[in-house]
Structure 1
Amino acid sequence: MRYYRLDPVDDAAATQWRWSLDTKRRWGLPGTECPRCHSSPLAIALNYPSVDLSRLPEEREYRKARVAPWDEYVQLRDRVLPLLPPGAMVQPGMGMGPLAGRVRGRPPPVAMDGAWNLFVQPEGVDRLLAAGLRGIKPLPTAIKTARDVPPLLEMELQVSGDDVPECRPTPVGEPCPGCGVQRSRRSTVGAEWLDASAMNGLDVFRFRRNPAMTVGSERFVEVLRGMGDTGIRVTEVVVKQPSEAGAFP
C-alpha cells in the first residue's frame, strides 16, 4: 500500500476554491511547563471534536487558552482522560469539542485549511464511506455557512504510524519521571521512511511522531482525486518494511 502526505495547496492560483474559516474550539487543555525537566510541549494539531465536557463541574476551566501551573494542568488532564477516544495522544494545549464560528466562501466536498485540519461536506462523507475506507469519522461542527453552502463537518483522525527503526530518534537518558518527555537525538539516516507494519490499516490518520502531518492511503487519495480539484496537495511518502530499510543508502 502506498501512502501520501495531505496538505492544502500553497498557490491559491492552483485551485478554484476560495474559502476560509474563522473558528474557535470549545474546550482545550492549558499549556504548562514540567517543574522537573522544564519541558513545555504544546499541541497545535491534536484535536478531539467528539469529546463533550459540558457535564463536567469544572467545564469552564477548559474554555480559555492559557498557561497553567503543572499541578493544575495534571488535574485538568486527568479529569478528561476517561472521555477521550481510545488511543488518544494527550498533550498540553490539546483541543476538545466542536469548532464554532463561520466559514467564508464555499469549501470543496473534502477540504483542508491547514496541514492538520480535514473537513468534509455530506457529499464527501458519502463518497469516502462508499469506498469502504477506514478511519473515516466525520463529526458535526457549530460552523455557520451561507444558505447555499452544505454543512461542514470535521474529521476526527486517529493517531497512528511510525518511522522504521533506523529512522527513529535515539533516546538520550531516561524519560522525565514527572512528565514522561524523552530527550532524543535525530536519526543519522538522513531520511524519513514510514514503517509499513505500523499503519494499523487506517486510510487516513495523524502521524504519531508529527501529529501535524495528515497521511492518507492510496485508497483515500484515489477517492480524493475522483472528486477533481479539492485544493488538497498529495505528496507520496516512502514506506518500507523494517527489514528493507537497511538496504537503502
Structure 2
Amino acid sequence: MESPEDALRQAQAAEVEGDLIQAESLLRAASKRWKREPEFKMRHARVLRAIGQERKALKVYRAVLKAHPQRADAAMGAAQTATSLNKLKLAESLWSRALSVGVQADVATEGLCRTIWTRGRKEESWERAKVAFVQGGSSSRILHDFLRECAPIIGTSVPEIDLLETGQLDTDFTPIESRRELNLKPVTFSGDSVEAMAGMSATDLSAPANQEVTELLGLNETRPQVDMSALQGDSKPVETAIEAEIPEDLLDFD
C-alpha cells in the first residue's frame, strides 16, 4: 500500500469479492498507518460489524467520534452498534448525540425512543415520538410505524399521517367511463312496451351521443334555402334615364 488511495482501492476490491477478512486486515493496517484519515476507521468499523465483531466496531466508532465530534455517520454507527449489543444506556446517549449532530431527525428520534421504550420508560418514549411526529408535519412513516407498534400497549390512538406531505397518495383508481364511452347492449322491446308505442328501437338507443344531442336540439332540420336563380344567367342591367322637369322660366334669359 503505497498511498491511502491504493489502500482504499484494495480494501474495496476485497469487499466486492466477498473477502471481508482480507478487507478487515487491509483496513486495520491502513487505520494504523494513516491515523489522521477517519475514512479508514469508518470503513473498518463497518466491516467489523459485517463479520460479527461488533464490540470492536463500537470501539472504532467511538474513537472516530472522539477525534471528530461532529461526524453524523460515526454517531449513527455507534448508536446502532450499541443498540445491537444491548448497551441501552450508552445507546440512549449515542442516539441523543446523533440527533444533535444532524442525523436524519425521524431516524434518530425513532432509535432514541425505541431505546427508551426498551429501558422501560414507555410513556416517555410515546410522548417523545408523538411530539416529534406532529412537529415534523405528521409525515414521517418511520415514526408513524413506531407509534402504531406502541399504541396497543399504551392504550391510545395513533395520530393520522398526512399523505399529502408524504407524497404517497393512493394512485390505484379506476377511471369512470363517460356517456360517450359506454357500450350499450342491443335490446328489443315487446309490442306493448312504452318504447314500442313511442316508435323507439334499439338502434335509436345506441345512437352516438353527438347524434342524440343533434336530434334533441333539432339541428338536423332542413333549413329553407334562398332561391338564387334570379342572380344566375346573362342578365343585362336596365339603363334608366331620369329626366328632371325644369321650369321654363328658368331657361328664359331675356
User: TM-score range, shorter-chain basis?
Assistant: under 0.3
Q: TM-score normalized by structure 1?
A: 0.25
Bigger Rg, structure 1 or 2? 2
The TM-score normalised by the length of structure 2 is: 0.24
Q: Please state which structure has a larger fraction of its residues in helix.
A: 2
> Between Structure 1 and Structure 2, which shows a larger proportion of strand residues?
1
- Which structure carries more relative contact order (alpha carbon 8 Å, separation 6+)? 1
